[in-house]
Chains A and B, each alone.
Chain A
């Protein structure tokens, strides 16, 4: 095999996108919890599973199928000695730290929709105590945000993309 690293990269992409586990977990005092990945979303609000998250997950499953099949096709091409570049699964884990930022924006808007104003702290990673007062009453909640093991696996797969590109460049030079 002339492209072992590229093949390994595409193999890991197939595995990462096929496993239905969340990448990131986010919770506001246990009343809102979100666990998501680029291919799935699960939202609990006041202890109830939001049906809307199932609808979103359904649409994302289409995207999951697309990624898996592109990766399978490119893996076969790579093993035949004709590697192709597919950087989506490199950028996703790298840019996934933006996920808490998106959730922050969403949950700035959702409480307003439900009729109670609230401010959430912008928190990328870790645990933070959120305090606020609403109509003279004190509010105190623990806000949690952390990546899961699945996220680290996805990031490890993304790291493979760099040697894979170097390998492609090296082999092309040899061919010329």
Chain B
């Protein structure tokens, strides 16, 4: 009985392996993991507009997950409102500048470091960005 069942299972595996082209799908799986590894290293934060009172950033969401920008802390800046970026879409968030001249001198000397609290689905982390 067990022998018959084993033969049947093996027959299914061989037939399906030929039909679905197992080697190709294995190759695709490896390719997918490699490309995921690549996309993890691609942050895409861009400045859209900059005025004396605020800066707007654009964030491209490369994942099939929602990205949340919960808070931003740093000298002379604060987040206008929390931002939600839907899966595979572009979103923006705006920083309010409380003291422009102080902010500008810090930014020019490359000392303006802000900390973003970002959520990737339920995975929350902080990122430090130099403006």
Interface residues of A (CB under 8 A from B): 27-31, 45-48, 50-52, 54-55, 58-59, 61-63, 65-67, 69-70, 73-74, 77, 84, 113-116, 134, 136-142
Q: Is the CB of A69 within 8 A of B64?
A: no
The 8 Å CB contact of B125, one of A51, A74, A139, is A139
The interface size of chain B toward A, counting residues with CB under 8 Å, comes to 39
Q: Which of A58, A73, A139 is B5 in contact with, Cβ under 8 Å?
A: A73
Contact of B120 among A31, A59, A115 (CB under 8 A): A31
B107 at the interface (CB under 8 A from A): no
**A4, chain B: closest CB distance, angstroms:** 21
Contact status B36-A48, CB under 8 Å = yes
Residue picked from B26, B64, B65, B121, most chain A C-beta under 10 Å: B121
B1 within 8 A of A: yes
* Complex: A148 Cα to B65 Cα, angstroms: 24
Whether B99 is near chain A, meaning CB under 8 Å from some CB there, is no
Can you give 19 A-B contacts (C-beta < 8 A)?
A30-B122, A45-B36, A46-B36, A48-B63, A51-B29, A55-B26, A59-B13, A61-B12, A65-B8, A65-B9, A65-B12, A66-B5, A73-B1, A74-B1, A114-B33, A114-B36, A134-B125, A139-B125, A141-B124
Q: B128, A137: Cβ atoms under 8 Å?
A: yes
A133–B2 Cα gap in the complex (Å)?
52
Whether, in the assembled complex, B91 has its beta carbon less than 8 Å from a beta carbon of chain A, the answer is no
CB distance from B6 to the nearest CB of A (A): 6
Interface majority SS (helix, strand, loop, mixed), chain B: helix
The answer to whether A58 touches B123, judged by C-beta atoms less than 8 angstroms apart, is no
List, in ascending order, chain A residues with CB within 8 A of B5's CB: 65-67, 69-70, 73
Q: Does B32 contact A (CB under 8 A)?
A: yes
- 6 additional A-B residue pairs with CB within 8 Å, beyond A62-B9, A62-B12, A66-B5: A30-B120, A31-B120, A46-B39, A50-B32, A55-B26, A65-B5
Known: A29-B120, A45-B36, A50-B33. A66 touches B125 (CB 8 A): no
State whether A69 touches B36 (Cβ < 8 A): no
Residue pair B8, A66 in contact (C-beta under 8 Å): yes
- Residues 75-95 (chain B) with a chain A CB within 8 angstroms: 87
